[in-house]
Chains A and B, each alone.
Chain A
Amino acid sequence: EPEVTQTPSHQVTQMGQEVILRCVPISNHLYFYWYRQILGQKVEFLVSFYNNEISEKSEIFDDQFSVERPDGSNFTLKIRSTKLEDSAMYFCASSTGQDEQETQYFGPGTRLLVL
């Protein structure tokens, strides 16, 4: 069964450094998403992406965040200058976008720790 994959599984970085989290969505999917879950808190929507542009973003997704689909298979989330509060589990998801009650398929997550 096709799966969403994410790399790395864990990332440790220093405050102020840039990080890039990588995702490979399911191959025939057209919509891509990033979510995050700070330890002990809810999973929160960050951004959705379709047709090489952002479709929707939450108030969390500020100028330090960016997303890109650099090639036909990868979908990345870049955090330009990490802060301590960016420490979280980051989930990538994808969907076909073909019906109204859309199912999003999630990857296993990248656990980011900012020191």
Chain B
Amino acid sequence: AQSVTQLDSHVSVSEGTPVLLRCNYSSSYSPSLFWYVQHPNKGLQLLLKYTSAATLVKGINGFEAEFKKSETSFHLTKPSAHMSDAAEYFCVVTRYSGGGADGLTFGKGTHLIIQP
């Protein structure tokens, strides 16, 4: 079985400072890992995904995440926060080994607050 733990329910940073959203996973298989973002009244948008080709994954809007198998972590980072980054962020793992029909297992989400 797969599971995801997002270590912080809320993270608050000042605009222009780095962002770190933490995620640990548990998986019986080689996992497929994703970060999704949800802005208010919007759908879930894919930020980035781990494809096993490289451990450092770059996504949209300047976000990146590093897959660390030894630590079972997939933390999301951004060097400089922008006000438009304020949203809910979900760390996600596929339920099984990866494939078209597999449902996703979500973390509880981290609410990112950007202070002006």
Interface residues of A (CB under 8 A from B): 3-4, 30-31, 33, 35, 41-48, 50, 55-56, 58, 91, 93, 95-98, 100-109
* Contact in complex: A102, B106 (CB < 8 Å): no
Q: Name the B residues within 8 Å of A95 (CB-CB).
A: 100
The chain B residue with its CB closest to the CB of A3 is B43
A44-B106, A50-B101, A55-B101 known; A101-B51 Cβ under 8 A: yes
A1 and B36 CA atoms in complex are apart in Å by: 18
* Contact in complex: A45, B104 (CB < 8 Å): yes
A43-B106, A101-B52 known; A48-B43 Cβ under 8 A: no
* Contact in complex: B99, A102 (CB < 8 Å): yes
A100-B32, A100-B98 known; A45-B103 Cβ under 8 A: yes
The chain B residue with its CB closest to the CB of A46 is B103
With beta carbons under 8 angstroms apart, the residue of A41, A47, A109 that contacts B108 is: A41
Q: Name the B residues within 8 Å of A100 (CB-CB).
A: 32, 98-99
* Contact in complex: A101, B41 (CB < 8 Å): no
* Contact in complex: A102, B51 (CB < 8 Å): no
Shortest Cβ distance from B5 into chain A, in angstroms?
11
